[in-house]
Amino acid sequence: MYNRRIDIVIISTSLQLENILAKAYESDESFLSFTTVEQISKLDQYNMDILIDDTFAGSMASVKSGDISTAVVLCITKQQVALLTKSVENQLADIWLKPFDPKLIQFQFRKLIGEVMLKRKYRLSQIYMDALINNMPDLIWFKRLDGIHVKVNNEFCHTVGKAKQDIEGHDHYHIWNIDKEEYENSEYVCLDTDSIVIASKTPGVFDEKVEGRRGLRQLKTYKTPIFDDNGELIGTVGAAQDVTELKNMDAELEVILKTMPFAILVQDLNGRVLNINPKFEEYFRIKKEDIIGITYNILGVKTTNDANVPDRIFNEQDKELCLQYDNTDMILKIHREPIYDFFENLIGNLYIYREITVERNFEEQLKKMAYTDELTGLFTRRYLYEYIDNNTTISQLHLLYMDLDNFKFINDTYGHHYGDILLKNIGTVLREIFPHDVCVRMGGDEFLIAIIGEVSVAEIEEQAQKLLADITTCFHIMPGAEPLSFSIGIATFAGDHPVHLDELLEKSDIALYKAKKNGKNQYAIYQPSMKKQ
């Protein structure tokens, strides 16, 4: 309790009583302040806790004039006791008989101080209680077992639309303006939940609806039984949060989730599912009631393809996801949005899965068009550059740069249509001879084979020789005409530093020039001296 002074006023012609009483009480909770006056009329105000009247002549005036919270003590003789009226006796806290016995007076004084302190603690408890419940934003009420409300707070009054004097001392039907028959035929459960708490003698949490001054409200109520000092159940205390707006927001959110064309997953930080929408159920073939409240880690799930659950095949973890249903792919783009509380603490994550199957297929077609030569079906120069740049594991790279000998003569003699057929067939031959390597049409009648990995120069020469032989034997233009042939330039790279493709292409091109100069239909391996020449 807060430390406070106890004001004691003594009406007496001497300081005898003050001297006796000053030695009677010591406490850490309060301290005593004595004032002795000869007449009560000499006091400026009646702000006192105890009034001790040692002058029987002034006793009547002191009793009538004192504050109702003041404890009044009359100091009188046995003969004067008979002169007191019932109305005066009812206003007295105690009677001290004269002549005074100091020990008896000190004992009675300590008892009186105890009663004053008890009353003060009771008043402060009431103040504490009122200050607490009236500053709460929730509805708070105390009920007896018969349903009578003995105390409510301001928010309760505001919700009901009635003053406290119209609520305290009344039951549920009177307070909410509803009769028993209407209650029993409605969805209201307030009295039912009271019965549950009383019967179980344990706290409970409930969802309740009430009709207040602001219309129908949805409440989340917390009810607890109250026991007296003997352990007997005497009533209940309840607190209710008005969650109508939150429920409306939940309903709006559910509508939004249901109408969203994307699959949505809401999880807490432990991976437990808080909500999903119908699209999620459709995409992942799982029911909402089977997943809410449990840990569902999509990244960790890999199942066999059956009638209910799709395969999870990841293109890019946390970015894209490929689901396969009966060998039919669905590609989903993943977007994660962190969820923060009011204090900016991360409390969960919202995942959006948007189907991009058509987009990805279109992109793949465009990429295939950009990476594939339309005529020969070989890779393009663009693919070669991107493949080498993106492949960080290359430690050895070998290029065979080749050019058809006298292709211009073939085009001029037999026409471009025949030349195109010839180039297309050459593409087929290159893929057959180099099935595991990158076969590229660099443009016109120029081709390139990129061999990645540990291959000896002797093996490369063997493949180059086979290519020259196959081209010569497979393609005869016309009877009596020269057979088709290739000139090939070979350049190799091995080392720990990154591959400089342009530099290696330049070397293979120089070697190709050397093969042409030496008479065509042959290969040449790059040597540093070739660049000088």
Number of domains composing the chain: 4
pLDDT at 217: 78
Whether residue 511 contacts residue 419, with contact meaning beta carbons closer than 8 Å, is answered with no
Instruction: Give the torsion sign (CA, 282, 283, 286, 288).
Output: negative
Residues 54, 180 within the same domain: no
Decide which of 117, 132, 147 is a domain's last residue: 132
Residues 235, 286 within the same domain: no
Antiparallel, parallel or unpaired: β 92-97 and 71-76: parallel
What are the backbone dihedrals phi and psi of residue 175, each rounded to the nearest 5 degrees, phi first?
Answer: -65, -45
Kindly provide the b/e burial profile for residues 295-320, where b requires at least 16 CB atoms within 10 angstroms of the residue's own CB: ebebeeeeeeeeeeebbbeeeeeeeb
**Residue 267 to residue 137: CA distance in whole angstroms:** 30
DSSP state of 484: P
Whether residue 140 contacts residue 239, with contact meaning beta carbons closer than 8 Å, is answered with yes
Whether residue 37 contacts residue 81, with contact meaning beta carbons closer than 8 Å, is answered with no
Q: What CATH number has the domain bearing residue 53? A: 3.40.50.2300
Three-class SS of residue 126?
helix
What separation in angstroms does the CA of 415 have from each of 376, 428, 474?
Answer: 18, 21, 20
Residues 114, 238 within the same domain: no
pTM of the complete model: 0.48
Q: Nearest-CA neighbor of 80 among 97, 61, 104, 105?
A: 97
Whether residue 14 contacts residue 94, with contact meaning beta carbons closer than 8 Å, is answered with no
* 486 class by beta-carbon count within 10 Å (0-12 exposed, 13-18 middle, 19+ buried): buried
Antiparallel, parallel or unpaired: β 311-316 and 320-325: antiparallel
Residues 85, 9 within the same domain: yes
Find the Cα–Cα–Cα–Cα dihedral 199, 200, 206, 208, rounded to 10°: 0
pLDDT at 247: 65
**Residue 174 to residue 180: CA distance in whole angstroms:** 10
Residues 511, 384 within the same domain: yes
pLDDT at 490: 93
Residues 481, 392 within the same domain: yes
Find the Cα–Cα–Cα–Cα dihedral 3, 6, 21, 94, rounded to 10°: -120
Whether residue 237 contacts residue 223, with contact meaning beta carbons closer than 8 Å, is answered with yes
pLDDT at 326: 74
pLDDT at 476: 65
247 occurs within a structural domain: no
Decide which of 114, 132, 150 is a domain's last residue: 132
**Residue 380 to residue 75: CA distance in whole angstroms:** 119
362 occurs within a structural domain: no
**Residue 450 to residue 386: CA distance in whole angstroms:** 13
**Residue 525 to residue 508: CA distance in whole angstroms:** 8
**286: region left, alpha or beta (phi > 0 left; psi from -120 to 50 alpha):** beta
What are the backbone dihedrals phi and psi of residue 500, each rounded to the nearest 5 degrees, phi first?
Answer: -100, 95
Q: Which residues in the chain land under pLDDT 70? A: 1-3, 42-46, 57-68, 212-214, 246-248, 250-251, 299-318, 390-393, 476-482, 496, 498-499
What separation in angstroms does the CA of 105 have from each of 14, 95, 96, 112?
Answer: 16, 10, 7, 10
Residues 525, 416 within the same domain: yes
Find the Cα–Cα–Cα–Cα dihedral 280, 283, 285, 290, rounded to 10°: -10
**Residue 433 to residue 451: CA distance in whole angstroms:** 12
pLDDT at 328: 81
Three-class SS of residue 47?
coil
258 occurs within a structural domain: no
Residues 197, 111 within the same domain: no
317 occurs within a structural domain: yes
**Cβ-based neighbours of 108, under 8 Å, separated by 6 or more:** 94, 96
Whether residue 432 contacts residue 463, with contact meaning beta carbons closer than 8 Å, is answered with no
51 occurs within a structural domain: yes
Residues 155, 23 within the same domain: no
Please give the distance of CA 342 from its chain centroid, rounded to a whole number. 10
Residues 520, 389 within the same domain: yes
DSSP state of 379: B
Residues 428, 505 within the same domain: yes
310 occurs within a structural domain: yes
Whether residue 110 contacts residue 32, with contact meaning beta carbons closer than 8 Å, is answered with no
249 occurs within a structural domain: no
DSSP state of 295: B
Three-class SS of residue 190?
helix
**Residue 146 to residue 150: CA distance in whole angstroms:** 11
Half-sphere CA count of 478, side-chain side, radius 13 A: 6
Which token pair is 60? 């009547």
What domain range includes position 68? 4-132
Which token pair is 529? 């001296």
Q: Nearest-CA neighbor of 27 among 123, 122, 129, 109?
A: 109
End-to-end CA distance of the chain: 106
Decide which of 106, 132, 158 is a domain's last residue: 132
428 occurs within a structural domain: yes
Whether residue 239 contacts residue 139, with contact meaning beta carbons closer than 8 Å, is answered with yes
Q: What CATH number has the domain bearing residue 477? A: 3.30.70.270
Q: Is the peptide bond before 99 cis (omega within 30 degrees of 0)?
A: yes
Whether residue 189 contacts residue 223, with contact meaning beta carbons closer than 8 Å, is answered with no
Residues 213, 308 within the same domain: no
Q: What CATH number has the domain bearing residue 269? A: 3.30.450.20
